[in-house]
């Protein structure tokens, strides 16, 4: 790994020199290999016989220091190599959606056009998380103006929603009422959000960018082993509803790998949106069918609720870390605020010297995570309904106070940590995709249905899976939600309020220009996964592939456990335990989609934790 991440160039040291000659990727690779191997004039002549340009290569070879071996076996230090592209790149959780985005870029669309197209395509090919029946967040960097904007299309609670709607007569939370019933569904925001971004920041028409999704829904696509496994795991929830079974089942069993998934009703819904814009969803036939679905099963969403939905543009929460600028999603996401809060604390520790995945690095990260998640439980909520002390939480002065609480040799029990006092410093299943174009525009988008396939409910006649985002509210202060997160009054249920989220679409800038675009699904683990990705690149000089392949850790204050993925050294685990951490190995965390922008091009990688993901460019 490179010592200086700011100048790290994975395997493309000659790309900028050679690209001006319009050489193919294969030619560039041959030139690069020749230069690194210090090839002899005889070999250079052979290359010339293959019609490979060698003038610049010969110059490089001539300048090589003497007494070097003619051929080197080891030609680079990257263990995992990211995807490279010279102009535009898309990184998403499904190869078909990624290709849709790349095709849009090739046709002259910008990063927003491609992102919106990917968003609609994922609603078809990634039904467990991609959606038009959920909501999310988008962070856009506009190259022309240099401005960054956060687009909030998070779901909202219906007008009839109330603080105690998930409690029984004894004041206890009713199991699964906020997850797998029609009461779990919040007013969807995805269609409004994507359409808003397209109209304001895109170049193409909404019909242009929806067309590929319509084709995929109408013609169908082959179910992958990954999707088949998810359908099998969630079949009990999905099988409850006739409209859901009609799409995802063959007879009494869910679709299997190799089966074709066709969703004609969703194709028709997408056609209506393409023709009539978001009104088709919020005021047209689709709205009527969603409201009728709610009415048949005791749900709360009405046509008036759908018509009342609004997208909100917000100022991204911003901070700096070791000279880089970090822009991420503000409340009602807790992600951006706590990423910056944690980075502010961790900047006070020499992580680079301590080493990636060392016990000392993991220890201070875990202690920092505890402090941030304790604050999350107390202060974070919808800023349109409650005062969120973002400035205090992201203040460097507050970070200094938090850093003093960290014992470098010993873990502090969660029971000994309480929410701090940031005020004096005031002056889910989810998917993420990242896009960069050749004009300098970048987009980071994270959107969700909450759990896999959301509520599992398809609104009859629409083909649209509906979310179960109401679970992200605090059903009762102090009672954990599906991800084990606890919340307080700031996140209590109120009509038209947006539930607190962990989604953290993030852009890192260097000298005012995009340098890293990243984000992840993963519920409560989104925040720590995204933060670790930033640290991997800045502190440890990793490329997107190396970062994605690194083991992740997570602590969310309660439960009091340091969750880790397999792959950590047993010695490291032992040292952490000796420090007082309750280390538990659990399933993988996050599925990042990361693009790094360097002078030599775009480098990206789709997290190997999801085998269906793909990064591509041109």
Q: Which residues are catalytic?
A: 430
616: left (phi over 0), alpha (psi -120 to 50) or beta: beta
Q: How far apart are CA 480 and CA 376, in angstroms?
A: 13
Integer angstrom CA distances of residue 379 from 30, 387, 393, 421, 488: 56, 8, 9, 10, 8
* DSSP result, 503-561: ---EEEEETTEEEEEE----GGGHHHHHHHHHHHHHTS---HHHHHHS--EE--SSS--
- Contact (CB, 8 A) for 257 and 224: yes
Residue (of 492, 512, 379, 501) closest to 450 by Cα position: 501
Residue (of 504, 505, 500) closest to 485 by Cα position: 500
Question: Can you tell me whether residue 328 is helix, strand or coil?
Answer: strand
Instruction: Look at the block and give the residue holding tokens 């028409």.
Output: 205
Q: How far apart are CA 432 and CA 330, in angstroms?
A: 17
Q: How far apart are CA 502 and CA 521, in angstroms?
A: 9
Token output for 432: 């993420």
Q: Is the dihedral of CA 449, 374, 148, 433 positive or negative?
A: negative
> How do strand 593-598 and strand 513-518 relate by DSSP bridges?
antiparallel
- Contact (CB, 8 A) for 264 and 463: yes
Q: How far apart are CA 589 and CA 609, in angstroms?
A: 8
Q: How far apart are CA 271 and CA 458, in angstroms?
A: 18
Q: How far apart are CA 484 and CA 499, in angstroms?
A: 15
53: left (phi over 0), alpha (psi -120 to 50) or beta: beta
The continuous run of DSSP H or E covering 141 comes out as strand 135-142
């Amino acid at each position: 790994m490179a010592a200086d991440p700011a100048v790290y160039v994975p395997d493309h040291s000659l790309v900028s020199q050679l690209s001006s000659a319009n050489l193919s990727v294969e030619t560039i690779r041959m030139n690069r290999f020749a230069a690194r191997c210090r090839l002899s004039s005889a070999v250079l002549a052979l290359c010339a016989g293959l019609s490979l340009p060698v003038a610049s290569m010969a110059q490089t070879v001539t300048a090589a220091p003497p007494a070097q071996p003619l051929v080197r076996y080891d030609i680079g230090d990257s263990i995992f190599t990211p995807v490279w592209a010279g102009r535009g790149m898309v990184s998403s959780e499904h190869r078909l959606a990624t290709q849709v985005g790349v095709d849009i870029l090739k046709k002259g669309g910008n990063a927003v056009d491609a992102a919106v197209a990917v968003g609609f395509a994922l609603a078809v090919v990634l039904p467990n998380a991609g959606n038009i029946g959920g909501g999310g967040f988008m962070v856009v960097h506009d190259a022309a103006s240099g401005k960054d904007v956060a687009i909030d299309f998070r779901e909202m609670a219906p007008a009839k929603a109330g603080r105690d709607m998930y409690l029984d007569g004894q004041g206890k939370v009713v199991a699964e009422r906020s997850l797998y019933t029609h009461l779990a569904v919040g007013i969807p925001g995805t269609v409004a959000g994507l359409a808003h971004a397209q109209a304001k920041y895109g170049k193409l028409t909404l019909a242009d960018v929806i067309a590929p999704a319509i084709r995929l829904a109408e013609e169908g696509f082959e179910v992958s082993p990954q999707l088949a496994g998810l359908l099998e795991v969630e079949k009990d929830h999905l099988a409850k509803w006739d409209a859901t079974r009609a799409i995802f089942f063959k007879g009494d069993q869910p679709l299997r790998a190799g089966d074709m998934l066709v969703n004609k009703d969703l194709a028709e819904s997408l056609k209506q949106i393409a023709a009539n814009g978001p009104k088709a969803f919020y005021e047209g036939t689709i709205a009527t069918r969603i409201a009728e679905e709610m009415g048949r099963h005791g749900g709360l969403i009405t046509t008036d609720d759908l018509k009342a939905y609004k997208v909100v543009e917000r100022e991204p929460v911003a901070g700096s870390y070791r000279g880089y600028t970090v822009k991420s999603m503000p409340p009602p996401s807790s992600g951006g605020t706590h990423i910056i809060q944690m980075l502010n604390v961790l900047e006070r520790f020499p992580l680079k010297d301590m080493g990636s995945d060392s016990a000392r690095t993991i220890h201070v990260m875990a202690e920092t995570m505890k402090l941030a998640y304790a604050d999350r439980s107390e202060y974070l909520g919808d800023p349109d309904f409650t005062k969120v002390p973002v400035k205090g939480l992201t203040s460097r002065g507050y970070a200094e106070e938090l850093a003093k609480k960290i014992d470098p040799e010993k873990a502090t029990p969660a029971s000994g940590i309480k929410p701090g006092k940031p005020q004096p410093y005031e002056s889910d299943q989810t998917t993420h995709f990242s896009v960069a174009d050749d004009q300098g525009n970048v987009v980071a988008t994270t959107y969700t249905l909450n759990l896999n396939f959301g509520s599992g409910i398809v609104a009859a006649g629409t083909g649209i899976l509906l979310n179960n985002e109401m679970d992200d509210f605090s059903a009762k202060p102090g009672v954990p939600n599906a991800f084990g997160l606890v919340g307080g009054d700031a996140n209590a249920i109120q009509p038209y309020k947006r539930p607190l989220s962990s989604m953290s679409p993030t852009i890192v800038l260097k000298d005012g220009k995009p340098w890293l675009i990243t984000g992840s699904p993963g519920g409560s683990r989104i925040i720590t996964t995204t933060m670790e990705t930033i640290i991997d690149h800045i502190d440890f000089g990793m490329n997107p592939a190396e970062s994605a392949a690194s083991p992740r850790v997570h602590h969310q204050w309660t439960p009091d456990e340091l969750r880790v993925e397999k792959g950590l050294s047993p010695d490291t685990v032992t040292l952490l335990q000796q420090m007082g951490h309750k280390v538990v190995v659990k399933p993988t965390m996050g599925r990042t989609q990361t693009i790094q922008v360097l002078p030599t091009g775009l480098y990206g990688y789709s997290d190997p934790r999801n085998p269906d993901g793909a990064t591509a460019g041109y």
